[in-house]
């Protein structure tokens, strides 16, 4: 796909890093979200205005999401979960402004999934200790250890492939629709794709974010308590 073609190559210590359009969009989203987060959380008041009320609703929603799906003891993950929600949703929705979503690039999805994988494993080790962490691979029976190892390491693969497959499929379908409408009547491209964008960009993009976040929370809790 076009998004995996490098725009330019960065060289660090003899290693070449290919920078694609998806990576540039990802960096732009990180910068924009970071700046907006800093600006919107300045000068918070005891009596909230409209801006602060929206922020508080979002925070309370994430608090409730973590509390109901992970438990009170996992509230420390609220910042991580909230950041993941904003980050994934932003990348999935940029298609609404004519930009190819970075999540249609598998390398980006794999990177996000690997972050989740390391967070899951690191927290499990911190909570139960390194010895108990490795003992858990032999539960409930020792001969199941190879299957348990495969299951653990399949997490980033399954998360990344699910997100990549769904977002790529949406892009391919919309591309086919626009090409078909262009051949039929160029003006048809102005109206007919709107409901399709609502489904493939807004609905499907939001659903994929929810699935990714929910699986992340579930794996953090299950593996830490195994």
- Segment 149-191, tens digit of pLDDT: 898 889 999 999 999 999 998 888 888 888 888 777 767 777 7
Supply the angle between the helices 78-93 and 50-69 in degrees, to the nearest 10: 110
* pTM of this structure: 0.86
Chain-centroid distance of CA 17 in Å reads 22
pLDDT of residue 212: 95
Rounded Cα distance between 117 and 159, Å, is 10
Q: Per-residue pLDDT averaged across 100-105, rounded?
A: 89
SS3 call for 120: helix
Among residues of the chain, what percentage have pLDDT more than 90?
46
Query: Rounded mean pLDDT of 199-216?
Result: 92
Q: Which two tokens stand for residue 202?
A: 């807004």
* CA dist 102 → 73, 96, 188 (Å): 33, 13, 27
Q: What was the pLDDT predicted at 4?
A: 61
Which residue reads 């190892």 in tokens?
Answer: 149
pLDDT in tens, 61-99: 999 999 999 999 999 999 999 999 999 999 999 988 888
Which of 210, 2, 219, 189 lies closest to 121, judged by CA? Answer: 219
Kindly state the average pLDDT of the residues 15-40: 87
Q: How does residue 2 score in pLDDT terms, banded at 50, 70 and 90?
A: very low
Lowest mean pLDDT among 18-27, 65-74, 121-130, 211-220: 18-27
Q: What mean pLDDT, rounded, does the chain reach?
A: 87
What pLDDT does 182 receive? 78
pLDDT for 1: 42
98: left (phi over 0), alpha (psi -120 to 50) or beta: left
> Could you tell me the CA-to-CA distances from 90 to 2, 25, 111, 147, 216 in Å, in that order?
20, 10, 16, 36, 18
DSSP letter at 192? T
Is the model more confident about 198 or about 121? 121
The mean pLDDT value for 55-62 works out to: 93
User: Which of these, 21, 18, 58, 14, lies nearest to 40 by C-alpha position?
Assistant: 58
Say if residue 112's pLDDT is above 90. yes
Q: Which residues lie closer than 8 Å to 213 by C-beta, 6 or more apart? A: 65, 81, 84, 85, 88
Please tell me the least confidently modeled range out of 52-56, 158-162, 214-218: 52-56
Query: How far apart (Å, rounded) are the C-alpha atoms in residues 216 and 191?
Result: 37
* Higher local confidence (pLDDT), 148 or 3: 148
pLDDT in tens, 119-130: 999 999 999 899
């Amino acid at each position: 796909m076009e998004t995996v073609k490098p725009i330019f190559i960065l060289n660090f210590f003899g290693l070449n890093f290919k920078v694609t359009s998806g990576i540039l969009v990802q960096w732009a989203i990180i910068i924009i979200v970071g700046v907006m987060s800093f600006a919107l959380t300045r000068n918070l008041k005891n009596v909230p205005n409209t801006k602060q009320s929206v922020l508080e609703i979002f925070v309370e929603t994430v608090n409730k999401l973590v509390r109901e799906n992970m438990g009170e003891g996992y509230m420390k993950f609220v910042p991580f979960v909230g950041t993941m929600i904003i980050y994934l949703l932003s990348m999935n929705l940029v298609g609404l402004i004519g930009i190819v979503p970075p999540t249609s690039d598998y390398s980006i999805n794999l990177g996000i999934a690997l972050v989740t994988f390391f967070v899951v494993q690191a927290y499990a080790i911190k909570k139960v200790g390194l010895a108990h962490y490795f003992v858990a691979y032999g539960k409930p029976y020792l001969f199941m250890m190879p299957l348990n190892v495969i299951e653990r390491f399949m997490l980033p693969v399954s998360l990344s492939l699910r997100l990549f497959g769904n977002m790529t499929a949406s892009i391919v379908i919309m591309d086919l629709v626009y090409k078909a409408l262009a051949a039929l009547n160029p003006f048809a491209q102005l109206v007919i794709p709107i409901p399709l964008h609502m489904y493939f960009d807004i609905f499907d993009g939001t659903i994929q974010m929810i699935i990714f976040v929910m699986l992340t929370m579930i794996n953090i809790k299950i593996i830490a308590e195994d």
